[in-house]
Chain A
């Protein structure tokens, strides 16, 4: 097999950073975007976390670990990933069931599996495993998929999503479901199927309401009318909107946001960190941040478009678009557009598990891009 790396054809002799990075299978543009985002994240965290250095150190260690994962994945050939798809998914399912049976509880939900040395959230593994499996499965046969195969795809998405929703972790379940549905959408199923699916989902909403936990219903009710419960769950949204709105066009300045610094804003270093950015950097700041997100996802979509197999195309497309879903859900949540479902702002919020999975996803993107075969014409 000709696994030769793309060479800088214009000037093969000159040293270039891009080329050096290619040797270890990293994509320079994507890397630059991610590093900028992580840098912004640390800066905000410093402000949101009451300027505690220990917090930053912990986050930096996580970033280091996650980056290591990115480099490892970038160096695995996409074909190997495709071969492992079923195994990874199967292992993920077993672990998810294990969590429901023997998992550890934290804050009213069962999400953790204690493996002696480390505590581990199998739902994070599923964030990669579900799109990986679907892409591998769909790419086995010509696209668009036939209806029976489509049905199997839905099962592949629904089973882990329901298991995770049962933990209960509705936010993660929705993200995983959407990462799978995106693969299905990209596979080119007909618009008639898409529209009938949307209609079916809309009619299933009352059922969803019925199976939801009380606290989840409460969140939805509060979302519809936050002022109805200013002391309870509406407090988050009200304070968050005050923080964002008072930021204005240019913000109050770094470390100057009163909402954040005076601790009126709850969970400000995790789920509500976007409100801190909006308060301290204003509309300009968040506009630039959203552009950075779009740029990163845009590079991902470009990689998807340039990919050489349907498998890689579907997987890369899903990873990039799910990344945007993350951002949209989080920002929609803190601005009061969407109910509070507990989704962190990707790569900026404090916390380790989602950081590892997200960067792993970008590792896969880089692998797809850097393992392309030279087109010999």
Chain B
């Protein structure tokens, strides 16, 4: 900038600005003349035309909300339906005095102060032409009461509504999810026109993921109204198009067995068909009744769910982070084989601990007096930790990470249910960027047995297991099986989604791992030998027992609960038949203690149900 002092010529300057002011004033005058001309055209020349329109303007356009598509399981059992109800609704724009109307309605329907406050909040948040529900599910008596007083409440009416209902309650709470009132956040994401008249929108689970498909297209009816805005006569309408029916891969029987198998444990069971990726069962415990959310959950009910230490609203199948523990070993073994570090015959001596060369720290095997000399098959069958400390140490964390990455550890599986977590498959680079720390060799050892930083979700583990079962064929897990436009039309199957197949060095390596996993369920010393017993086919499986680290200091329990909270998580992964897999199952029982004793029998129950095996008690 120049610092030269310039003398201002005030007279010239004010003349300059004043000229511009005059110009702008004239220009503004012209613009206003244009406005007047426009108004004259509308109000004088076209007056008659608009006058006629105005007199005819007793015609109102009302949206006809579409019927939400039903959701079925793979056998055609209804999982989400619509039941007809009456609700008392208000259109803020058409109400004369809102305060009076609300207070009179409060008296008539004995609404609490809290209810009224909630309604007022909704009115403020929404567009003024949108319906606001004052009360859902009116009884016949309430409908009669309102009808008698209807004249007092312009802008308020009883509306017949189809309300979502989940006949199996908690059984599908997380996976199917639930619908709820359209809130401000939803409003910015939807096509407002298509949701005119729609009160509910998918909030979680499949209901959310397939919202577009389930919702359908809004219709309209033209109606003649009286001075109060009440419908006198219907003139014509354009019907709405119902949402599509959604058929899931889930099987209600398997779902039930899974829920029962978990029993009192918190945890998750995921079962899938590895050939199609179809998710057959997806259960997270504890659960909750999704019907509570449909018409707006009460504050009390919600705080019970939200504040429960067991976190029932939390979907463990997709968002539960668990150390995979020994269930990671088959993948680590395969890494060793494929990268040429171990062979089928490679043996390691297990004295019950392992030390890094030149270090004194002892990394313990779960079996304190050791497994002795074990080969690869026995290392999996007996789940020897020392074998995998050694293998991981040679592999190094980054090669291990790279290999596990192929199996989608640390990535989302992409299943068609929202809010999936990524899990964590650590690498030295991850530790540097996320924690700004160097990677220690000891951490590699722990990673080799699926502990330490390793975190996986049950869905992710099922996905990885199905890739292992299918010898590298990568089929993405999918909950939806297909959709149907209407009852008459054909089921439109969702195409099977394939990812890149895994690179294979030698098919034999894969077979070695599968054979070792068969040894787990049927070998003399297999950790889950009860699982394979009495079946006409072989089951490949792997137990896992994951340490629970620490406990939050603000948690406050008596000694017994505390002890239980510190119990290890019990895990089990399996596929069957081992040679031609049709069924993959993953079980995580929180604080279940031991994979063999707690999780493996649960998986067996799932296998029995799927293959129709009659169990002899």
| B7-37 interface with A by 8 A CB criterion | 7-10, 13-14, 16-21, 24-25, 28-29, 31-32, 34-36
Q: Is residue B54 contacting chain A, with contact meaning CB distance below 8 A?
A: yes
B38's closest neighbor in chain A, by CB? Answer: A335
Q: Is the CB of A258 within 8 A of B57?
A: yes
A328 touches B35 (CB 8 A): yes
Whether A242 and B16, one on each chain, are in contact in the complex, defined by CB atoms closer than 8 angstroms, is no
**B220 at the A interface (CB under 8 A):** yes
Known: A182-B24, A258-B57. A313 touches B36 (CB 8 A): no
Please judge, given known A-B contacts A186-B24, A266-B128, A290-B35, whether A245 and B51 are in contact too, CB under 8 Å: yes
Query: Which of A52, A239, A242, A321 is the most central at the interface, judged by chain B CB atoms within 10 Å of its CB?
Result: A242
A283, B40: Cβ atoms closer than 8 Å: yes
Residue picked from A143, A245, A297, A314, most chain B C-beta under 10 Å: A245
Given contacts A232-B193, A262-B227, contact A186 B21 (CB under 8 A): yes
Interface residues on B, range: 35 or more
Whether A301 and B25, one on each chain, are in contact in the complex, defined by CB atoms closer than 8 angstroms, is: yes
B83 touches A (CB below 8 Å) = no
A34 close to chain B: CB less than 8 A: no
Given contacts A245-B49, A262-B229, whether A142 and B96 have CB atoms under 8 Å apart is: no
State in angstroms the CA–CA spacing of A324 and B28 once bound together. Answer: 7
Bound complex: CA A239 to CA B57 (Å): 9
**Bound-state Cα–Cα, A244 to B55, Å:** 13
For A142, list chain B residues within 8 Å (CB): 6-9, 13
How does the 8 Å CB contact mask read for B287-314 relative to A, with 1 for contact and 0 for none?
A: 0000000000000000000000000000
Q: Is the CB of B17 within 8 A of A186?
A: yes
Closest-CB distance, B377 to chain A (whole angstroms): 58
**Is B486 in the interface zone, CB < 8 Å from A?**
no
A337 to B99, alpha carbons, bound, how many Å?
37
Interface segment, one of A7-15, A113-121, A246-254, A363-371: A246-254
| Interface residue? A259 (CB, 8 A) | yes
Residues from chain A with Cβ under 8 Å of B6 in the complex: 141-142
Q: CA separation between A28 and B200, bound complex, in Å?
A: 56
Contact residues of A between 116 and 156, Cβ < 8 Å to B: 141-144
Residue B239 CB within 8 A of the other chain: no
Q: Give A143 to B13 CA distance when docked, in angstroms.
A: 6
Q: Is B129 an interface residue (CB 8 A)?
A: yes
Contacts of A141 in B (CB 8 A): 6, 8
**In the docked arrangement, what's the CA distance between A338 and B448, Å?**
68
Q: Which of B38, B55, B57, B227 has the most CB of A within 10 A?
A: B57
Is B54 within 8 A of A107, CB to CB? no
Q: Which residues of B contact A (CB under 8 A)?
A: 6-10, 13-14, 16-21, 24-25, 28-29, 31-32, 34-36, 38-40, 42-44, 46-47, 49-51, 53-55, 57-58, 60-61, 63, 93-94, 96-99, 127-129, 184, 187-188, 192-193, 220, 225, 227, 229
Residues of chain A at the chain B interface (Cβ within 8 Å): 50-52, 54, 105-108, 141-144, 182, 185-188, 230-232, 235, 239, 241-249, 258-259, 262-264, 266-267, 278, 282-283, 286-287, 290, 293-294, 297-298, 301, 304-305, 310, 313-314, 317, 321, 324, 327-328, 331-332, 335, 337
19 residue pairs bridging A and B, Cβ less than 8 Å apart: A54-B97, A54-B99, A106-B184, A108-B184, A142-B7, A186-B21, A187-B20, A231-B220, A232-B193, A245-B46, A246-B55, A262-B227, A305-B21, A313-B17, A313-B18, A317-B17, A321-B24, A328-B28, A337-B38
